[in-house]
Amino acid sequence: MKIAFMGTPDFAVAMLKALIDAGHQICCVVTQPDRAKNRGKKILFTPVKETALENGIPVLQPEKIRQDGEVLSFLQQQKPELIVVAAYGQIIPPEILYLPRFGCINVHASLLPELRGASPIQHAILQGKAKTGVTIMQMAEGLDTGDMLAKTETDIGCKNGQALHDELAELGAALLIRTIPLIEQGRVNPEKQDDRQATYAGLITRNDGRIDFSQEPQAVERKIRAFDPWPGAFCDFDGQQMKIWKAQCIEGKKQGLPGEICGVSDEGIDIICGNGILRAEEIQLPGKKRMEVKAFLRGNFIEKGRILG
């Protein structure tokens, strides 16, 4: 099938590669503009752009697709039968949504109508959900409101954000390849979303990673997993920002203030949270590598009674 693809981050790369490997004709890729990143402010290609260029696929990068007539004109010339969207990052205008014969479909990393929006993977962990998954939907003009065409799910367990992201990307790619022939053959059964069950996963900012130790330890532990690798869950320690990458809730009585260190050992740093205790097992200070607490304590001293801010 002749397909135009819209996507930007690593999650979308899995979909694009699957389409290429399956033999579909990708007439173009639409992705976000290149941005300056990291401390050196070097301009970096989006992951999807890199994959497209490696495969000789034309790339379009409108600053605002709703105001860019060149993208619409190019798509009209190419006449794709289907547009596949995965984590593109912009609202697609109606004149593009309804241009292809089979319209636009979106690969969304949640079990819709739950967790519509920009950050469904992190919010699934934050909210303590037992399961999440991928939904392929026929795109409409609302935010992730279109009819559902196919779903697949997985258990979250103790996975962190990176592990769940990678798993959902592969599940989504496989589901996409299974679903496209059904769309072409008219064998999909669209299911309307129940808006009454809809929830929203808003955009995550760097400051969202700050830990509130007045929360229950289970909530803090979920934040640590959800925000690995970005933005990372952090607190103030000795005048600098300390990230906690791995932790577990342990049994013990609360005796002290939220954020107070109540125990230090090779197993971890025990911190009072809500009505329980969180044991930080892997930490990182600015300019240093992530390390287990046991390794950190070889060159650093942490005393009980210190309050983490």
User: What secondary structure does DSSP assign to 122-152, as a single string?
Assistant: HHHHHTT-SEEEEEEEE--SSSS-SPEEEEE
How far is CA 73 from its chain centroid? 31
State the SS3 of 50-89: HHHHHCCCCEECCCCHHHCHHHHHHHHHHCCCEEEEECCC
**How much is the pLDDT for 38?**
67
Tell me what the pLDDT averaged over the chain comes to.
Answer: 96
**296 confidence band (pLDDT: 50, 70, 90):** very high
Q: Residue 37: is its pLDDT beyond 90?
A: no
Classify 295 as helix, strand or coil.
Answer: helix
Taking alpha carbons only, the member of 149, 5, 142 closest to residue 81 is 5
The answer to whether 147 touches 137, Cβ cutoff 8 Å, is yes
Between 255 and 298, the more confident residue is 298
- Residue 152 bridge partners (DSSP): 134
Contacts of 92 (CB under 8 A, 6+ apart): 6, 65, 66, 85, 104, 139
**How much is the pLDDT for 309?**
84
Specify the pairing of strand 148-155 against strand 131-138: antiparallel
**82 confidence band (pLDDT: 50, 70, 90):** very high
Q: Residue 254: is its pLDDT beyond 80?
A: no
Q: Residue 116: is its pLDDT beyond 80?
A: yes
Q: What average pLDDT score do residues 230-245 get?
A: 96
Angle between helices 10-21 and 47-54 (to 10 degrees): 20
**204 confidence band (pLDDT: 50, 70, 90):** very high
Look up residue 110 and give its DSSP letter: S
In 10 A of CB 177, how many CB atoms?
A: 15
pLDDT tens-digit readout, 13-32: 999 999 999 999 999 999 99
CA distance 48 to 102: 23
Q: Residue 152: is its pLDDT beyond 90?
A: yes
Question: Looking at 36-40, 96-100, 183-187, 293-297, which range is the least confident one?
Answer: 36-40
Between 242 and 142, the more confident residue is 242
The answer to whether 259 touches 276, Cβ cutoff 8 Å, is no
**How much is the pLDDT for 240?**
94
Percent of the chain scoring above 90 in pLDDT: 92
**252 confidence band (pLDDT: 50, 70, 90):** confident
Q: Residue 194: is its pLDDT beyond 90?
A: yes
Q: What average pLDDT score do residues 79-87 get?
A: 98
Q: How far is CA 244 from CA 126, 258, 278, 283, 294, in A?
A: 15, 16, 11, 4, 14
Percent of the chain scoring above 70 in pLDDT: 99
Q: Residue 59: is its pLDDT beyond 80?
A: yes
Q: Residue 39: is its pLDDT beyond 70?
A: no
**54 confidence band (pLDDT: 50, 70, 90):** very high
**How much is the pLDDT for 40?**
62
Q: What average pLDDT score do residues 229-248 get?
A: 96
**How much is the pLDDT for 255?**
81
- Identify the structural domains of the chain with CATH numbers, from first to last: 2-201 (3.40.50.170), 206-296 (3.10.25.10)
